[in-house]
Each structure stands twice: as C-alpha cells, then as structure tokens.
Amino acid sequence: MEIIKRDRSFSKSYDPIVLWLDDLERIFRALHHEKVDITNEEYKFGSLDDLKTHFGGQVIYKLNISGSEPSARLRFDRFTAELYVGAAPNSGQVFYELDELLSKRVRKPRFVNRFWFGTLAGVPGIIGHWWDITVSGVSLSVVAACLFFLIVCRTGYVQFYRYAVIHLQRKHEQKTFLQRNKDQLLMYIITGVVGAFVGFGISQVKDKYMPDWLKLEQKP
C-alpha cells in the first residue's frame, strides 16, 4: 500500500500591511516573474518597471498580483490584504515564502489596528463616568475619553483608507519627516525667531518713546 500525496491550496488574510518595492521584487521572484500579471482597477502592467514608471514614486493603495506557476493571487486594496496559492507540487513552498514576507510587513503593533482594541481603550472612560477621578484639576475620565476617540479614529482611518499601503520605492530610500520638511521647518523657525525679535523691539521702542500721556490713556 502506498500513500498518495495530494496537492493542496493555501490562503490567508492579513492585518493592515505596508509594502515596498523590495517586497514586490521578492514576490515576483517567488512567482517566477516572467509569468506574473500586475493589475489595478484601470490598467494591466507588463512589469514592475512599467508600474513604477506609470506611478513614479507615488504611494498606491490598490494592486493585484497573479501568477500561473503555481496559480497564485495577491490582492491589496483599501479593505483587504489577501494571499491565495492554488494546489500544485510546490504550492507549500511558494505560500511559505510569500506568507513569511507579508507577515513581516503587517503594521505593528498589530493589536492597535483592530477595532476591539479601540473598544477596550474606551473602558477607562466608561468607568470614569461613574467614578470620576481628578488629578490637579484634570478629569481622568475626560482624558480617557479623548484618548479613546483618537484611537478609534486612527484605527478606522487605517482599516478603511490605508489597509494596504504600497511604496513604489525601496525602503532604504525613504526620507524621514525631517528630511522631507527640513526646509519648511527651518523657514518656520526663522520666521518665528524674527517675529519674536521684531515684537520685542517694537515693545521696547513703544515703552521708551511713547508719550506719558498716551500711556495713561491706554491704562484701564
């Protein structure tokens, strides 16, 4: 008697995820890039280069990737991030490689992006509604309610608008907030410092040269 080995398919859904161009290249290699299709709602792209050329360095939120050897499909949009690998002799290997990659790109910490955490975060506010605790004149129930509101808004924003975020640039090429906005921030700082000096100078000139009778008129 001989055991017959049956091929099986694999599928998995992921929490909100962030991908980079490096990750897309790894997905292509796992699916044998010469037999991979890339589509979104409007276009079908022949390669990653076509995709990057079309969108430039933009961030996109919808992308479908499918391969034929083995049959596989990755779906990313504003509400889902899904992986499916059809039955084939090497389906388990392909699924493991892709699942390992996608699992590492799930937003962390994971529990923050789930609605149950937002609901749990509201418990202190509910308790404070009956047992209000005040510290230095500040109501902790109000603080908890504000925190709960911010967490729910952030979770809802990610779940409904940023579930899948795909950067069409390599991760090491990403610029930090300061790198992207350093010129504008520097201008704000210079403007603030100059404005402070100008205001101080005007107040000194006013105190020194304003007639005494005018100062008396300004007093309440």
* CA 95 – CA 85 distance, rounded (Å): 6
pLDDT tens for the 220 residues of the chain, in order = 555 556 788 999 999 999 999 999 999 888 876 678 899 888 888 888 888 888 887 889 999 999 887 789 999 998 889 999 988 888 888 999 999 999 999 988 777 777 666 666 566 656 655 666 665 666 666 777 777 777 777 777 888 888 999 998 887 666 555 555 555 666 667 766 766 666 666 666 656 655 554 444 444 5
**Boundary-marking domain end, from 104, 128, 153:** 104
Two tokens, residue 40: 């979104």
pLDDT, position 210:
53
Q: Which residues contact 59 (CB under 8 A, 6 or more apart)?
A: 165, 166, 167, 168
In a domain, 216, yes or no: no
Domain count, the chain: 3
pTM (two decimals): 0.65
* Angle, CA 105 vertex, CA 102 and CA 106 arms, to 5°: 95
Identify the domain containing residue 158 by its residue range.
111-162
Quick one: which of 119, 90, 99 has its CA closest to 5?
90
Residues across the chain: 220
* CA 154 – CA 118 distance, rounded (Å): 9
* CA 185 – CA 183 distance, rounded (Å): 5
Q: Are the CB atoms for 113 and 107 separated by under 8 Å?
A: yes
User: Does residue 196 share a domain with residue 155?
Assistant: no
pLDDT, position 218:
47
User: Does residue 143 share a domain with residue 194?
Assistant: no
CB neighbours of residue 192 within 10 Å: 10
In a domain, 93, yes or no: yes
* CA 191 – CA 204 distance, rounded (Å): 20
> The tokens 């201008």 sit on which residue?
187
